[in-house]
Homo-oligomer: A and B are copies of this chain.
Amino acid sequence: MAADPEPTETVPASPPPVPVYFVAEQTGISAEAMGNALLVQFPDIVFERHRIPFITSIAEARRAVAVLDAAMKGPRQPLVFTTIADDTISGILRSSRAPIIDFVSSHLGQLERILGSRALHLAVRVHGVDDLAKYDRRMAAVEYAIEHDDGESLRHYDDADVILLAPSRCGKTPTTMYLALQHSVFVANYPLVPEDLETIDLPDPVRKLRARCFGILTTPERLAQVRHERRPDSTYSSIEQCRWELKRAEIMFRSHRIPTVNSSAKSVEEMSTVILQHLNRP
């Protein structure tokens, strides 16, 4: 017996994503940073991000306009975030029919008035290597971070601006790398192993460097989860062991008045900001 054809079930179609373009003369990092800071204000909209970096010639600007105008024919109006400072390139971009949010031209006039000075109105590299000594120091910081990761080498702890202390898998390494790469800070990190945690004394290699130490803590649940991925069902990843190590580390930090940050709810950017505030560095 043939069933009556059932009506086709209609799943409510999710709206198409809004295309977002970050257009820049250089890497587009600034346009993306600010664009994203605005887009998070619309949590119910899905965005589809595209980068159009290194737009430095009239021909490239025209190609970018062609991409944006093509996007205007799609189901959702695109958004364009730019940081173009060159007046010619900026003018070409504005010939696009797409709505453009230009973080540079919107504010440059205001800044010129406040500073009483005329801006260049030219493409300038924000993320360049023009200051070679500064760039080399940054690269040296990355190298230092890798050499001194996870207690790998204890030789040059004296050169560290900050030494991160924490039990294994609390998030020392990514924070170390971030501080080195983004802020040229010389960071060593030292893993507190269970033997270290049996006393409240600071481990030998950092004993005389208390003032530069910074502790990282997390929750036992998060630590157990992260450790479980590395060594499932081990003592190492058991909640009891994690709880004990964190408790002992906390006591150690407190008794030496070492500042701490909790990695369970903080990203590397957030932890790094806390650590930099403590170091009182820009």
Contacts and interface: CB of A to CB of B under 8 A. Distances in A.
Interface of A: 18, 26-31, 33-34, 36-38, 40-45, 49-51, 53-54, 77, 79, 83, 85, 99, 101, 103-104, 106-108, 110-111, 114-115, 117, 119-121, 124-129, 135, 138-139, 142-143, 146, 149, 171, 173-174, 177-178, 180-181, 265-270, 272-273, 276-277, 282
Given A30-B36, A41-B124, A126-B36, A114 B99 contact: yes
Given A45-B117, A111-B38, A171-B139, A54 B181 contact: no
B124 A43 contact: yes
28 contacts: A27-B270, A27-B273, A28-B273, A29-B269, A33-B33, A37-B83, A37-B126, A38-B104, A38-B107, A41-B119, A41-B124, A42-B120, A43-B120, A77-B114, A79-B111, A79-B114, A99-B114, A101-B111, A103-B103, A125-B267, A127-B267, A128-B267, A129-B265, A129-B267, A143-B173, A146-B177, A174-B181, A177-B177
Given A43-B120, A103-B103, A181-B178, A146 B143 contact: no
Contacts of A53: 273, 277
Given A103-B103, A177-B177, A117 B44 contact: yes
Contacts of A54: 273
B139 A41 contact: no
Contacts of A124: 40-41, 43
Given A33-B30, A40-B126, A177-B142, A101 B108 contact: no
Nearest to A139: B174
Q: What 5 pairs between A and B have smallest CB-CB spacing?
A: A127-B269, A41-B119, A33-B33, A30-B37, A27-B273
Nearest to A99: B114
Contacts of A180: 177
A40 to B, nearest CB: 4
Contacts of A110: 99, 101
A108 B41 contact: yes
A34 B42 CA distance: 20
Given A34-B103, A119-B42, A146-B149, A277 B51 contact: yes
A85 B37 CA distance: 9
Most-contacted residue by chain B among A31, A129, A143, A268 (CB, 10 A): A129
A160 to B, nearest CB: 18
A270 B171 contact: no
Nearest to A40: B124
